[in-house]
């Protein structure tokens, strides 16, 4: 009996997350209760709610909320938690992807190239907590409609290496008319470095020669951003 998995049905009615959600609505539940609904079962001798509480209380947050930190964890890290096997880890990663897609789809209808803040909203949650510097290119058609995006490179903790050839080759492959460059600063400070400024100048010159509009370069920090366009540095 000691090694049996404890199910949600074994909880008192007043503590069952399913019943609480039905009675009071999802906003009334704690993060742990919502996570318990997702996980459905606990581990050997541990209820799903206890497993959820243990995960959220022990996950490395690095200044984030435990829930945000959880949704940032890769499969290998999730499976390192006792009681989280292959299926539970996949369920959490699927939830994280749904959250990311919902955030993108909510922002896209309001997205305009003239509004760096709207573009930032689309990518901030995806990139603000990354522990490595990632350079992303965002593509637009001639009507300035979003076509998609692609990660070009992932650097070390402090820098990424990228060549103009990589940038423009990806633009041609996408069949895009224009592009925006985005990258994150793991430090949380979005102020551009000297390398960021030099890269932007290099790409601007190449873009003009190739008649491919470079619309902006956005640097994302932790909830903050720097737009080269807003600072009149894209002319």
DSSP lists the bridge partners of residue 43 as 46
pTM here is: 0.61
Alpha-carbon Rg for the chain in angstroms: 22
Q: How many residues does the chain have?
A: 235
**How many structural domains are present in the chain?**
2
Candidates 232, 220, 234; CA nearest to 120 is 220
- Those residues whose C-beta lies under 8 Å from the C-beta of residue 37, and which sit 6 or more positions away, are 17, 18, 21, 29
Does 233 reside within a domain? no
The sign one gets for the Cα dihedral 140, 146, 152, 156 is positive
Query: Do 175 and 207 belong together in one domain?
Result: yes
pLDDT per position in the chain (235 positions), as tens?
A: 445 554 555 555 556 778 888 888 888 888 888 898 888 888 777 888 888 999 999 888 877 788 888 888 888 889 998 889 899 999 998 888 888 777 666 655 556 667 788 888 888 888 888 888 999 999 998 888 888 888 888 775 555 568 888 899 999 999 999 999 999 998 899 999 999 999 999 999 999 999 999 999 999 998 899 999 999 988 7
Domain final residue pick, 50, 74, 102: 102
Distance CA(108)–CA(112), nearest Å, equals: 8
Does 235 reside within a domain? no
Query: Do 88 and 120 belong together in one domain?
Result: no
**∠ CA 132-96-44 to the nearest 5 degrees?**
110
Does 21 reside within a domain? yes
Structural domain for 54, as ranges: 5-102
Does 17 reside within a domain? yes
């Amino acid at each position: 009996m000691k090694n049996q998995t404890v199910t949600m049905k074994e909880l008192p009615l007043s503590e069952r997350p399913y019943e609480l959600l039905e009675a009071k609505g999802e906003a009334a539940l704690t993060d742990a209760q919502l996570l318990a609904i997702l996980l459905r079962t606990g581990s050997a001798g541990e209820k799903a709610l206890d497993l959820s509480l243990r995960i959220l209380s022990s996950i490395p947050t690095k200044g984030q909320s435990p829930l945000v930190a959880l949704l940032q964890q890769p499969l290998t890290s999730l499976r390192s938690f006792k009681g989280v096997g292959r299926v539970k880890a996949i369920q959490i990663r699927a939830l994280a992807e749904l959250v990311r897609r919902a955030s993108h789809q909510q922002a896209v209808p309001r997205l305009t190239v003239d509004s760096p803040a709207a573009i930032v909203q689309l990518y901030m949650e995806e990139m603000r907590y990354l522990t490595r510097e990632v350079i992303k290119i965002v593509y637009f058609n001639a009507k300035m409609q979003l076509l998609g995006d692609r990660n070009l490179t992932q650097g070390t903790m402090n820098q990424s290496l990228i060549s103009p050839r990589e940038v423009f080759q990806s633009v041609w492959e996408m069949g895009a008319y224009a592009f925006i460059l985005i990258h994150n600063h793991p430090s949380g400070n979005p102020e551009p470095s000297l390398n960021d400024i030099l890269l932007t100048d290099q790409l601007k010159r190449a873009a003009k020669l190739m008649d491919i509009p470079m619309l902006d370069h956005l640097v994302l920090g932790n909830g903050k951003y720097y737009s080269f366009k807003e600072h009149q540095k894209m002319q």
